[in-house]
């Protein structure tokens, strides 16, 4: 059992992404992504904030596309998926920023090169899934 407390091994982190409150003023955004504005993901603690930014930008841009493509991959086709599309950042979503709220009323913008392990240790000391907020601009 190498996943005991204090283990420095790579672990998986589960995160809830919610739309940043300032985005709620943008009706176009709300209309496009209303059902999927909250996202539930799991990834390795080695992942960088930039991985999450890239992923979210791609997924959100699909919500904005005129013809919504169902790009969901099944567990059996885990290799590949939309993430392998290196042009993901050229989507209609730009400047996607992720924030974390370590305490009520406090919001910290996360730097892209920070690992999730670092984020977890620095800002999220509680035993529950990390909660992050995201905001973006559109082209």
Which helix or strand (DSSP H or E) is residue 63 part of? helix 49-64
Identity of the residue, 103 or 113, whose beta carbon is nearer to other proteins in the bound complex:
113
Compute CA distances 127 → 13, 121, 123, 131, 135, whole Å.
11, 11, 12, 12, 25
Q: How far is the CB of 21 from other proteins (least distance, A)?
A: 20
| CA–CA distance, 133 with 70 (Å, rounded to integer) | 24
Pick from 19, 32, 33, 52 the residue near other proteins by CB under 8 A: 52
Identity of the residue, 32 or 62, whose beta carbon is nearer to other proteins in the bound complex:
62
Q: Which of residues 92-131 bind other proteins (CB under 8 A)?
A: 127-130
Pick from 1, 8, 79, 87 the residue near other proteins by CB under 8 A: 79
């Amino acid at each position: 059992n190498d996943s005991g407390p204090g283990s420095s091994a790579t672990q998986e982190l589960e995160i809830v992404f919610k739309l940043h409150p300032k985005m709620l003023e943008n009706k176009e955004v709300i209309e496009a992504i209303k059902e999927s504005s909250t996202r539930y993901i799991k990834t390795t603690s080695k992942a960088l904030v930039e991985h999450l930014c890239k992923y979210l930008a791609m997924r959100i841009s699909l919500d904005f596309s005129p013809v919504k493509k169902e790009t969901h991959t099944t567990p059996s086709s885990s290799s590949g998926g939309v993430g392998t599309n290196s042009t993901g950042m050229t989507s209609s979503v730009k400047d996607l920023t992720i924030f974390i709220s370590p305490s009520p009323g406090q919001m910290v913008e996360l730097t892209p090169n920070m690992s999730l392990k670092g984020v977890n240790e620095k800002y999220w000391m509680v035993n529950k899934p990390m909660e992050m907020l995201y905001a973006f601009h559109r082209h």
